[in-house]
């Protein structure tokens, strides 16, 4: 990586605000390394032009080295923008078009971060795990339909699609990560009810486990995982799960490790054929947009995942350490968006 081209999609709501700080930190940790290209996509673009993600833009994006995304999506109750239009037309479109099979979501409870959990449950324990969420299948394929829409006889379906190809690669990725960490991998599913998908996930998990005898494995139903996550999140090292369960459990994981304002994520294309994408787990939070109060930490930490992915782990660790040190120094104090960005940028420089 001498010079790398990063596509920046700030998106909606607080997205552009937090992304600006992420880019600030990335530039501070690696000056003269990145070329940034801004893409004006999201709610405003759609309202102005009716375009969500033009084909020409998708084509251009194919050739960048990585994508830094802020957040996408109108307010849930918005009347101007149909529900999910931007999420599906932009965020999910990119995840699917660029085959982002591995949706990586680390959760670390940094010292000094206020957690909603009772002190006794986390004191003296290390909460540091990563969820490997499948990113290209499951209920996210848009494979549903409806008949007799708008009538009392309406029937609406949603189909969860699971292939061995898709499951195998994410499970294998998770085993590798577990092996490189504390050697523990947990599969989350609901195979007592979702028997077809469950059998496939179980088979892939069991088969690949045989190749990783040094990784300890266990299984939790997704409902039981909710309890485990709040009573003892320190039990987890690596978690692997499908697209929807991953969506749900990572928000809970973020909440117990200090909130969605700190949760970073990477959408990784496993073959390198397409650019990977780095984004905070949080959404566009329209309610606090424009106030300068959004926490950019998650967006900044996502840049560490980007650096890891581009083969610069030493720079990635500098961001991680700066984030951790800054959070400790803040001690729960609420700082503004640019203030946090400036502080972390100064630390990594």
Ligand X SMILES: CC(C)[C@H](C(=O)O)[C@@H](O)C(=O)O
Per-residue contact string for residues 38-77; x = within reach of ligand X by CB under 6 A? -----------------------------------x----
What does 36 bind: ligand X, a second copy, none (CB cut-off 5 to 8 Å by kind)? none
Instruction: Assess 1 for contact with a second copy (CB under 8 A).
Output: no
Terminus-to-terminus CA distance in the chain, angstroms? 19
- Segment near a second copy (CB under 8 A), from 38-46, 82-90, 296-304, 307-315? 82-90
Helix (H/G/I), strand (E/B), else coil: 37? strand
Q: How many residues does the chain have?
A: 349
- Closest by Cα among 307, 309, 263, 280 to 28: 307
Three-state SS for 54-86 is: CHHHHHHHCCCCEEEEEECCCCCCCCCCCCCHH
Total chain residues near ligand X (CB under 6 A): 10
Instruction: Report the alpha-carbon distance of residue 78 to residue 10 in Å, rounded.
Output: 20
Instruction: Report the alpha-carbon distance of residue 273 to residue 55 in Å, rounded.
Output: 18
Residue with tokens 């499908």: 242
∠239-241-242 over CA atoms, to 5°? 160
Q: Which of 146, 155, 193, 195 binds ligand X (CB under 6 A)?
A: 193
Instruction: Assess 188 for contact with a second copy (CB under 8 A).
Output: no
Per-residue contact string for residues 31-70; x = within reach of a second copy by CB under 8 A? ----------------------------------------
Mark residue 268 as left, alpha or beta (left: phi above 0; alpha: psi -120 to 50; beta: remaining): beta
List 65, 128, 251, 342, catalytic entry: 251
- Closest by Cα among 105, 189, 92, 71 to 136: 92
List 247, 295, 308, 320, catalytic entry: 247
> In terms of CB distance, is 38 or 165 closer to a second copy?
165
Q: Which of 164, 311, 329, 349 binds a second copy (CB under 8 A)?
A: 164
Using CB under 6 A as the binding rule, the residues of this chain from 214 to 273 that contact ligand X are: 223, 247
What does 145 bind: ligand X, a second copy, none (CB cut-off 5 to 8 Å by kind)? a second copy
- Closest by Cα among 290, 296, 286, 279 to 335: 296
- 274 is annotated as an active-site residue: no
- Segment near ligand X (CB under 6 A), from 84-92, 167-175, 201-209, 321-329? 84-92
Q: In whole angstroms, how close is the CB of 328 to ligand X at the nearest point? A: 27
- 140 is annotated as an active-site residue: yes
Q: Which of 20, 97, 194, 335 binds a second copy (CB under 8 A)?
A: 194
Q: Which of 106, 198, 275, 341 binds a second copy (CB under 8 A)?
A: 198
Instruction: Report the alpha-carbon distance of residue 232 to residue 219 in Å, rounded.
Output: 15
- 223 is annotated as an active-site residue: yes
- Segment near a second copy (CB under 8 A), from 37-45, 79-87, 176-184, 328-336? 79-87
Instruction: Report the alpha-carbon distance of residue 267 to residue 277 in Å, rounded.
Output: 5
In contact, 333 and 345? CB cutoff 8 Å: no
R_g (Cα) of the chain, nearest Å: 20
Per-residue contact string for residues 131-170; x = within reach of ligand X by CB under 6 A? ----------------------------------------
- Segment near a second copy (CB under 8 A), from 9-17, 138-146, 289-297, 335-343? 138-146
> In terms of CB distance, is 3 or 151 closer to a second copy?
151
CB neighbour list of residue 3: distance below 8 Å, 6 or more residues apart:
32, 33, 34, 35
Question: What is the contact surface with ligand X in residues (CB under 6 A)?
Answer: 73, 87, 91-92, 192-193, 223, 247, 281, 283
């Amino acid at each position: 990586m001498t010079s790398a081209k990063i596509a920046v999609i700030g998106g909606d709501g607080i997205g552009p605000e937090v992304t600006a700080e992420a880019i600030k930190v990335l530039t501070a940790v690696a000056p003269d390394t990145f070329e940034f290209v801004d893409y004006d996509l999201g709610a405003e673009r759609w309202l102005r032009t009716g375009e969500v993600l033009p084909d020409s833009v998708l084509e251009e994006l194919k050739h960048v080295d990585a994508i830094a995304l802020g957040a996408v999506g109108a307010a849930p109750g918005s009347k101007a923008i149909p529900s999910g239009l931007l999420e599906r037309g932009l965020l999910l479109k990119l995840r699917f078009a660029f085959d982002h099979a591995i949706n990586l979501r680390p959760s670390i409870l940094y010292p000094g971060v206020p957690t909603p959990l009772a002190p006794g449950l986390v004191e003296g324990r290390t909460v540091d795990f990563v969820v490997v969420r499948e990113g290209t299948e499951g209920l996210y394929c848009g494979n549903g339909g409806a008949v007799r829409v708008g009538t009392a006889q309406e029937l609406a379906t949603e189909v969860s699609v699971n292939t061995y190809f898709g499951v195998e690669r994410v499970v294998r990725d998770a085993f590798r990560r577990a092996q490189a960490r504390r050697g523990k991998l947990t599969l989350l599913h609901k195979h007592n009810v979702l028997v077809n998908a469950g059998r496939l996930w179980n088979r892939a998990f069991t088969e690949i486990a045989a190749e990783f005898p040094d990784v300890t494995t266990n299984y939790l139903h997704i409902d039981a995982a909710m309890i485990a996550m709040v009573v003892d999140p320190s039990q987890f090292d690596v978690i692997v799960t499908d697209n929807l369960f991953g969506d749900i459990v990572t928000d809970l994981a973020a909440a117990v490790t200090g909130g969605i304002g700190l949760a970073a994520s990477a959408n990784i294309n496993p073959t390198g054929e397409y650019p990977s994408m780095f984004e905070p787990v949080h959404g566009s939070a329209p309610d606090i947009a424009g106030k300068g109060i959004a926490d950019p930490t998650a967006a900044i930490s996502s840049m560490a995942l980007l650096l890891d992915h581009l083969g610069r782990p030493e720079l990635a660790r500098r961001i991680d350490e700066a984030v951790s040190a800054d959070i400790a120094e803040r001690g729960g104090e609420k700082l503004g968006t640019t203030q946090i960005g400036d502080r972390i940028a100064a630390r990594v420089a």
